[in-house]
Amino acid sequence: MSLVLGLETSCDETSAAVVEGGRKVLACVTASQVDIHRRYGGVVPELASRRHLEAFLPVVDEALTRAAVSPLDLDAVAVTVGPGLAGALVVGTAAASSLALAWKKRLVPVNHLEAHAYAAFLESAEDAAPSADGRGRRLPDLEPPFVVLIVSGGHTSLAELTRHVELRPLGETRDDAAGEAFDKVARLLGLGYPGGPAIDRLAAEGDPAAVALPRPLLKDGGLDFSFSGLKTALVYHLAAARERGEPVEVADLAASFQAAVVDVLVEKAFRALRLTGCSTLAVTGGVAANRGLRRALAARAAQEGVTLAVPEPRYCTDNAAMIAGLAHFLLAAGRPSFEEPLRVEPSLALGGGRKPRGRRGARGRGGGGPGSQRREASARRRR
């Protein structure tokens, strides 16, 4: 059984984890930067990179201590090389390269998006029948093939894991990712940042049928997503209500918006199951922690006899355990490790390569806050 130290610094979490055999999490330590970026309404890349520099070694030390292992016990060091914020990725890859060199360990570059699929393999991943509160039993015997829905602040993608380390892309967002849309709508409603948890909490108090909102691309028969139009529809609804002097029930708006997003995600995911012939669905990424989405997925899975694998919330968000988990399977498949300095790929896509032009950047949250917007406006004025 391999013992891998995973390292994750693609956005605003500094994370280190020790994972045995690609599934058993011995320790996972994550330093969040939410409080730092909250005042800007989004992640400021420069601040994220500086915080990674400060937090990296303490997080690694704590992960090794909790796992009760030393560097000598490790078989490899794995690190995210993309997609993500360029500066944040550089911090992580430089530090990982240094540790691997000093400890004389193999160095494994990992695609962050593909690693999200491997959160479903972690020993604490949940079973196919989560209860109404989103809890459930473990699914330790999960094996490919299965469909994975990766839904987060920067990504909304569907893929089929045909066999280990072989992901076949099926669909992706054409504009905003679902988590990005949650953040933007939460800002419109005055709910602060991050928006996903705030909308999820408030939606429980509202009526999901109160406001008629569109379900973009739901009837097109395809597997791509689009959420910018949904956000725009909510903007127009708010503007019209205020122009008429009508009160705005924020809880109803939150519930209606969340219901629209959930309907699209669930329908597209089960459409992918039908098209691939798979009977297992894994749902990962930060938005997979959304309680409304979990309940809808559980109900649909029970109705259609589908096995549903949803990781614990701490493994849905960006974390190093999924990085170490995928690294084990890469090593088992004989994928090459690297002895030279790693090259970061901020626009890395599922299956390798770069995200096509015309689509949004790989990490939608990066630079999305007012701080970076002011810097961009200032740069335009100087030009």
Higher pLDDT, 354 or 115: 115
Nearest to 308 by CA among 272, 274, 281, 286: 281
- Report the C-alpha dihedral over residues 40, 45, 49, 52, rounded to 10 degrees: 50
pLDDT-wise least confident of 214-223, 265-274, 320-329: 214-223
Q: What integer pLDDT is reported at residue 194 of this predicted model?
A: 87
Across 276-282, average pLDDT: 97
Q: What are the pLDDT digits (tens) for 189-224?
A: 999 888 999 999 999 999 999 999 999 999 888 999
Examine domains 3-125+313-382 and 149-309 and report if their fold is the same. Answer: yes
Q: Kindly report which listed range (20-34, 101-115, 350-364) carries the lowest average pLDDT score.
A: 350-364
Q: Does domain 149-309 have CATH number 3.40.50.1860?
A: no
pLDDT above 80 (res 232): yes
Indicate the domain borders of the chain: 3-125+313-382, 149-309
For the chain, strand residue ranges (E) read 3-8, 13-20, 24-32, 76-82, 106-111, 146-151, 156-163, 166-172, 280-284, 307-309
Find the range with the poorest average confidence among 75-89, 138-152, 175-189, 317-331: 138-152
Q: How far apart are CA 332 and CA 145, in angstroms?
A: 17
| pTM beyond 0.95, yes or no | no
- What is residue 124's predicted lDDT score, i.e. its pLDDT? 54
- The correct answer on CATH 3.30.2350.10 for the domain covering 3-125+313-382 is no
C-alpha–C-alpha distance, residues 367 and 4, integer Å: 31
| 131 — pLDDT class (breaks 50, 70, 90) | very low
Rounded to an integer, the average pLDDT of 15-37 is 93
Least confident among 53-67, 85-99, 302-316, 349-363: 349-363
Using pLDDT thresholds of 50, 70 and 90, give the confidence band for residue 378.
very low
pLDDT at 280 over 80: yes
Residue 284 has pLDDT above 50, yes or no: yes
Backbone region of residue 308 per phi and psi (left: phi > 0; alpha: psi in -120 to 50; beta: other values): beta
What percentage of the chain exceeds 90 in pLDDT?
Answer: 75
Q: Which residues make Cβ contacts (< 8 Å) with residue 105, sequence separation at least 6?
A: 71, 74, 75, 76, 77, 99
When mean pLDDT is compared across 29-38, 141-150, 225-234, 362-371, the lowest value belongs to 362-371
Torsion angles phi and psi, residue 186, rounded to 5: -60, -35
